[in-house]
Every structure is written in structure tokens, then in C-alpha cells.
């Protein structure tokens, strides 16, 4: 479960996140929409403990992130816009390395299986990551989320730059993870993917949650209108 309570962050007096209240329950995929500079990435950084809040609190599984960021991160899997890996390592070795950093040890067979579950072609698992496309690196990121068996997943523009097929494949994987009870928070610009994948959508403007909707209640066209309306307000 991911939660923010009146979470506030300022940079040089400028408010980036303004008393943000969010709750992403297990099995939910919450899409955080908003223009550039709305505070989406800052919110993710606060939830990861990369930034300390000026007020309020970020919680992961009920525990305060600021109090013990290391412990909080052990419950979170994080997939950035660009999953940067060690280019001299293969997919399997990268997965092994990063999951070991998180204190989890897997056999080679388990690692290969995890990459397969994430949709990486079997022949690519032992190839150096330097030869991977962005979509393949995102899949290693997903495999890492699977390896950590995290209860919460933070995604920062995960489908940006992916071709439609890769983006669709990625969405299927996310839905599968949500189906397994993972709480997912996805910051994105992609209205279509948000409407397709998310269970709830929040529109962030100037660090404040301007609107929150259940995706079952809105159509794609309505979402676009709502988004623009909040931006112009």
C-alpha cells in the first residue's frame, strides 16, 4: 500500500508538491497524470525516500518513508522512465546484481524464468545489455520488480518512448502484477494507457491533486476533456 498524507515539498521556496493526499491500495493501479513540472516525479522521489518532505508524510505499507527509507525501499519496486543497467552485464547478470542489492538471492534458473515472465526473449537473457532496446531494458526492470516480490510498484513514465506493441505488452504485465495484489503508482503523460490500464486516475496540477476518477466511470474522450479542463482551471 502506498500512501501520502498532506505531503509537501518545496524547492527554493517554490512548491513542487502541495499537501498531497494519495492512497493506492493493494491490487490498484493508480495513474498520476499531469503536465511537466506538476510534481509527479517529486512525489515518486518522496515515496522512494530520495527526497525528504518539508511537511506531511509518505508511507509504504503503513511505515514512514522518512523514518527509515532503506526499509521502505525494500517493499517497493521502482521502474524509471529509462531503466539504466550495466551495459557490460547480461540481462541475467543485471537482474542478479540489482536483486542482490535488495538482499534477495536467486538461482540462475529463477532469474531466467523471471526474465521470461517479464517478456524478455530467452535468447536475450545472456546477451550484454548494451545491445538491448529500451523496451527490453524496461522488461528487465519488470523482472526486477517480480524478483523483489514487492508489494508496491512505482513507475515514472514507464512507456515513454516504447513502440505501441512494446507498450501494450508492458501494460499487460502491469495488469498482471496488479492482479497479484501489488499497489501500483504510475506517473505518466499517456492518457490512453492511463485510461486502459489504471483502476483510478489522479490529475496533478501544481503539486495538488486537482481531480481523482475511477476509470470505470469515464471514457477516453471524457478523460482528455477533464485533463484539459483541470490544466486550464
Partner 1 sequence: MTSHLFRLELRLLARERAAWVLLGLFALALAYGISNGSRLAQRQSEVATAIAQDSEQFQTQLRNHLAQQSVDPKAIAGRGTAAVLPPAPLPLLAAGQSDLSPGHETVVLWKLAAPADTRSELENPSHLLAGRFDLAFVLVWLYPLFLLALVYDLMAGDREAGTLRLALAQGIAPWRWMARRALARALPMLTLAAFATLAAGFFGGSDGTGTRLALALAVVLAYGLFWVSLALAVNAVARSAASAATALGAAWVLLVLVAPTLLNVTVETLYPTPSRPELVAAGRKASGEAEKRGGELLNTFYRDHPELAPPGQQADFAAQHLTVQSEVGRAIEPVRQKFDAQLARQQTAVGRWRFLSPAIAAHEALTDLAGTGYWRHRAFREQVGGLRQAVSDFFTPRIHKRESITMADFDKLPRFEFREEPAGVWMGRVVTSLTGMLALAGALGAWAWRNLRPARLGLLST
In the bound complex, what is the minimum distance in angstroms from residue 223's beta carbon to partner 1? Answer: 29
Q: Which helix (H) or strand (E) holds 99?
A: helix 91-101
Q: Name, in order, each residue with C-beta under 8 angstroms of 229's C-beta and a sequence gap of 6 or more.
A: none
Contact pattern for partner 1 over residues 9 through 48, marking x by CB under 8 A = ------------------------------------x--x
Residue 225 engages partner 1 in binding (rule: CB under 8 A): no
Q: Closest separation between CB of residue 68 and partner 1, Å?
A: 9
Cα(203)–Cα(33) distance, integer angstroms? 5
CA 172 to chain centroid, in Å, comes to 14
Q: How many residues sit close enough to partner 1 to count as binding (CB under 8 A)?
A: 37
Among residue numbers 98 through 127, which ones bind partner 1 (CB under 8 A)? 98-103, 105
Starting at the edge strand that comes first in sequence, how are the strands of the sheet with 2-11 ordered? 14-24, 2-11, 55-60, 63-64
Backbone angles phi, psi at 125, to 5 degrees: -60, -35
Piece of 1-9, 18-26, 92-100, 109-117 that binds partner 1 (CB under 8 A): 92-100
- The alpha-carbon radius of gyration of the chain (Å, integer) is 17
Among 78, 170, 213, 227, binds partner 1 (CB under 8 A): 78
**Does the protein bind partner 1 through residue 56 (CB under 8 A)?**
no
DSSP string, 64-79: ETTT-HHHHHTTEEEE
Looking at residues 148 to 187 of the shown chain, list those that interact with partner 1 (rule: CB under 8 A): 148
Binding site for partner 1 (CB under 8 A): 45, 48-52, 66, 69-74, 76-78, 80, 82-86, 88-89, 93, 96-103, 105, 141, 144, 148
Amino acid at each position: 500500500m502506498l500512501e501520502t498524507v498532506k505531503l509537501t515539498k518545496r524547492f527554493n521556496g517554490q512548491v513542487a508538491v502541495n499537501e498531497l493526499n494519495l492512497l493506492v491500495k493493494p491490487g490498484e493501479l493508480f495513474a498520476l497524470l499531469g503536465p511537466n513540472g506538476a510534481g509527479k516525479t517529486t512525489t515518486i522521489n518522496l515515496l522512494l525516500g530520495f527526497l525528504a518532505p518539508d511537511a506531511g508524510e509518505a508511507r509504504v505499507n503503513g511505515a514512514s518513508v522518512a523514518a527509515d527509507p532503506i526499509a521502505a525501499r525494500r517493499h517497493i519496486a521502482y521502474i524509471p522512465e529509462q531503466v539504466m543497467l550495466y551495459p557490460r552485464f547480461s540481462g541475467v547478470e543485471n537482474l542478479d546484481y540489482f536483486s542482490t542489492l535488495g538482499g534477495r538471492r536467486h538461482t540462475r534458473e529463477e532469474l531466467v524464468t523471471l526474465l521470461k515472465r517479464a517478456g524478455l526473449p530467452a535468447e536475450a537473457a545472456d546477451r550484454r545489455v548494451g545491445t538491448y532496446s529500451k523496451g527490453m531494458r524496461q522488461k528487465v526492470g519488470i523482472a526486477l520488480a517480480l524478483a523483489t516480490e514487492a508489494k508496491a510498484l512505482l513507475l515514472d513514465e514507464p512507456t515513454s518512448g516504447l513502440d505501441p506493441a512494446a507498450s501494450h505488452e508492458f501494460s499487460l504485465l502491469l495488469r498482471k502484477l496488479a492482479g497479484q495484489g501489488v499497489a501500483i503508482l504510475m506517473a505518466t503523460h499517456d492518457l490512453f494507457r492511463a485510461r486502459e490500464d489504471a483502476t483510478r486516475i489522479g490529475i496533478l496540477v501544481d503539486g495538488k491533486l486537482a481531480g481523482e476518477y475511477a476509470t470505470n466511470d469515464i471514457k477516453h474522450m471524457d478523460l482528455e476533456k477533464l485533463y484539459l479542463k483541470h490544466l486550464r482551471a
